[in-house]
C-alpha cells in the first residue's frame, strides 16, 4: 500500500505568492515565480487567494467605479505633445 504524505506549504511562501499576485502577476506567472522555492499549481494559488484574500483589498477595488479621461495636444516650444489627464470625482484624484 502506497501512502501519500501531504506537504503543507509554508505560510511565508503563501504570503509571497499572494504578494506577487496582487502586485499584478497572473496565476500562472505567480506559480512560475515561486517554483524556485516550492512547486504549486496556479489553481492552488487561486485557492489561497479565495481563502486569505483581505477584505480591504476587495473594498478598495470597488471604490473606483467611475473615472474621466481627457486628452489634448499642446504646443511646448516648437513641439506638439499629448497630455492625458485621469480624474476620479468621488476620490478627488487627478493624474497627469
In the chain, where the domains are located: 11-62, 64-95
Q: What is the pLDDT of residues 46-92, one digit of tens each?
A: 988 888 776 544 444 445 556 677 777 888 888 888 877 776 666 55
61 contacts: CB under 8 Å, gap ≥ 6:
none
Instruction: Please give the Cα distance from 36 to 30 (Å, whole number).
Output: 11
Place of cell 517554483: 35
Q: What is the pTM of this model?
A: 0.51
Amino acid at each position: 500500500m502506497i501512502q501519500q504524505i501531504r506537504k503543507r506549504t509554508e505560510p511565508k511562501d503563501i504570503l509571497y505568492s499572494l504578494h506577487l499576485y496582487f502586485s499584478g502577476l497572473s496565476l500562472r506567472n505567480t506559480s512560475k515565480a515561486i517554483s524556485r522555492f516550492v512547486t504549486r499549481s496556479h489553481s492552488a494559488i487561486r485557492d489561497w487567494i479565495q481563502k486569505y484574500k483581505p477584505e480591504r483589498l476587495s473594498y478598495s477595488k470597488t471604490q473606483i467605479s467611475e473615472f474621466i479621461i481627457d486628452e489634448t495636444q499642446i504646443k511646448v516650444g516648437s513641439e506638439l505633445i499629448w497630455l492625458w489627464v485621469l480624474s476620479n470625482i468621488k476620490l478627488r484624484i487627478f493624474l497627469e
